[in-house]
Amino acid sequence: MNDYVKRVIESTKTKYAHEPEFIQAVEEVLTSVEPLVDAHPEYEKYDLLNRIIEPERMFTFRVVWMDDNGQYHTNTGYRFQFNGAIGPYKGGLRFQKNVYPGIIKFLGFEQIFKNSLTGLPIGGAKGGSDFDPQGKSDAEIMRFCQAFMQGLYRYIGPDIDVPAGDMGVGGREIGYLYGEYRRLKGAFENGVLTGKGMSYGGSLIRPEATGYGAVYYLLNVLDHFGDKLEGKVIVASGYGNVTWGLCKKAAQLGAKVVTISGRDGYIYDEDGVSTDEKINYLLEMRASTKGSIRDYAEKFNVPFFPGEKPWGVNGDIVMPCATQNEVGMKEAEKIVASGAKYYIEVSNMSTEAAAQAYLKDKLTVAPSKAVNAGGVATSALEMCQNSERMSWTAEEVDQRLEDIMDHIYQVSVEAAEKYGLGYDLVAGANLAGFEKVAEAMVEQGVF
Ligand code: GLU
């Protein structure tokens, strides 16, 4: 192993022992870019690796909000502005009980390379809060979002940092966040947030973009093997925005998603989550904030597996869409035994490190930072529309999204080949994403 890479990984493990997700993300990226570091001895002189794993700026802020009974509650707000070398900081906000610095940090770090891969001018950031949206009323969500923006608004802007949604933050939350930003700034700067509603500057196709983009990426992989999407069976997890977009595009192209999952278990729908009624029901489930997948089983009369995950269900393509590290070694073994040929990560860092290595050995693996980049790419298209003060048609946005996903696939394949790694989509995505950011950092001088 390259000595500089090795030393930086070792010191990361010591320094951030309390942030295992961040260590995992750093290790994957730095191991992948080793041939690039070998080829660029100047990286060490400029200490590029330690600089790229050190966020340019990260801060927390106090968020105090009132519940419907008049009781006040205090949460931590986070925004980590990781790397701005190629554009304004860009990345989602996650509202989830388990949020702590290690989660925001791994997500922000991944976002640097994901955003770079899109070919668009966006830097990497992430933020959020340990606020738990489960079971909160609409008024409580609004008050929380307003309080959150009060802590954040001074530090963001259309040319500074442009937050968006992630888990627990959808169109409704973005609306409340933007309303508060506008009130505080006294200006209509709607390029400050993406994932907005259509009435105030949102982009068509943004809600579908992550799921659609994942399918566009997948089409490239299938094409590489002379294979087709039509007739394929997809085993997926999750039931939120990403899974919804995936089901919709898969259905349009003649493939079926046979499993979806929630915190209470998974359902198996032999006919696929394919009709408009079923696909729209996912939106209803999400809006209900109950987080229960059993409702789907009851409504459509399909088997429900309480407390279980869908890994091991027979299918051609496995697509985890729920959260980080949802597939560990045990799950990976079941996936291999199920006969699946393609493992396409969709949720950020879906797979534990050892499980990913095992899967790479047995089947074709695509990494989340490439596969799910269609979401943030379409956010960048939303920013373009906002600065042009106009909106593009759904067809136009969709076509650009497809082109961007093809580009991401192409540059990943080419980067892996260039460094003698063959058809390695994981290493290729890291190499291609890293190279552009590194070049910008070197050209801009040391800081
Ligand atoms: N949270 C999404 C992601 O993980 C979207 C970020 C954005 O649109 O800025 O990439």
pTM of the model: 0.97
Mutation probe of ligand 1 site: the residue of 166, 242, 369 with most atoms within 8 A of C-beta: 166
Each residue's pLDDT tens digit, 291-338: 789 999 999 999 999 999 999 999 999 999 999 999 999 999 999 999
Ligand 1 pocket, 190 CB below 6 A? no
Contacts of 420 (CB under 8 A, 6+ apart): 35
Q: pLDDT under 50 in the chain at which residues?
A: none
Count how many Cα atoms sit within 13 Å of the Cα of residue 34 in the half-sphere of its side chain.
14
**DSSP-based three-state secondary structure for 286:** helix
Q: Name the closest-CA residue to atom 10, ligand 1.
A: 376
* 3-188 and 209-371 in the same fold: yes
**What CATH number is given for 209-371 in this structure?**
3.40.50.720
Distance 92 CA to ligand 1 centre (A): 4
Q: Which of 90, 105, 114, 126 is catalytic?
A: 126
Q: Report domain extents, the chain.
A: 3-188, 209-371
Atom of ligand 1 nearest to the CA of 372: 10
> For residue 290, what pLDDT is reported?
72
**Given its phi and psi angles, is residue 100 left (phi above 0), alpha (psi -120 to 50 degrees) or beta?**
beta
Please provide the size of the chain in residues. 447
Atom of ligand 1 nearest to the CA of 91: 9
Distance 108 CA to ligand 1 centre (A): 10
Residue 27, both tokens:
């290790």
> For residue 258, what pLDDT is reported?
98
> For residue 385, what pLDDT is reported?
98
**DSSP-based three-state secondary structure for 423:** coil
- Dihedral over Cα of 130, 134, 135, 136: its sign: positive
126 a catalytic residue? yes
Nearest CA to 346 among 317, 304, 312, 315? 317
Residue 441, both tokens:
């950092």
> For residue 286, what pLDDT is reported?
87
Note the helical H segments in 314-424: 329-337, 353-362, 368-371, 373-388, 394-418
CA-to-CA separations, 426 to 138, 343, 366, 406, in angstroms, rounded: 40, 11, 6, 16
Atom of ligand 1 nearest to the CA of 348: 4
CB atoms within 10 A of CB 225: 11
> For residue 287, what pLDDT is reported?
84
CB atoms within 10 A of CB 45: 11
Each residue's pLDDT tens digit, 203-262: 999 999 999 999 999 999 999 999 999 999 999 999 999 999 999 999 999 999 999 999
Distance 372 CA to ligand 1 centre (A): 9
DSSP 198: G
Note the helical H segments in 199-240: 209-224
CB atoms within 10 A of CB 260: 28
Q: Which CATH number among 3.40.50.300, 3.90.850.10, 3.90.70.10, 3.40.50.10860 corresponds to the domain 3-188?
A: 3.40.50.10860
Ligand 1 pocket, 375 CB below 6 A? yes
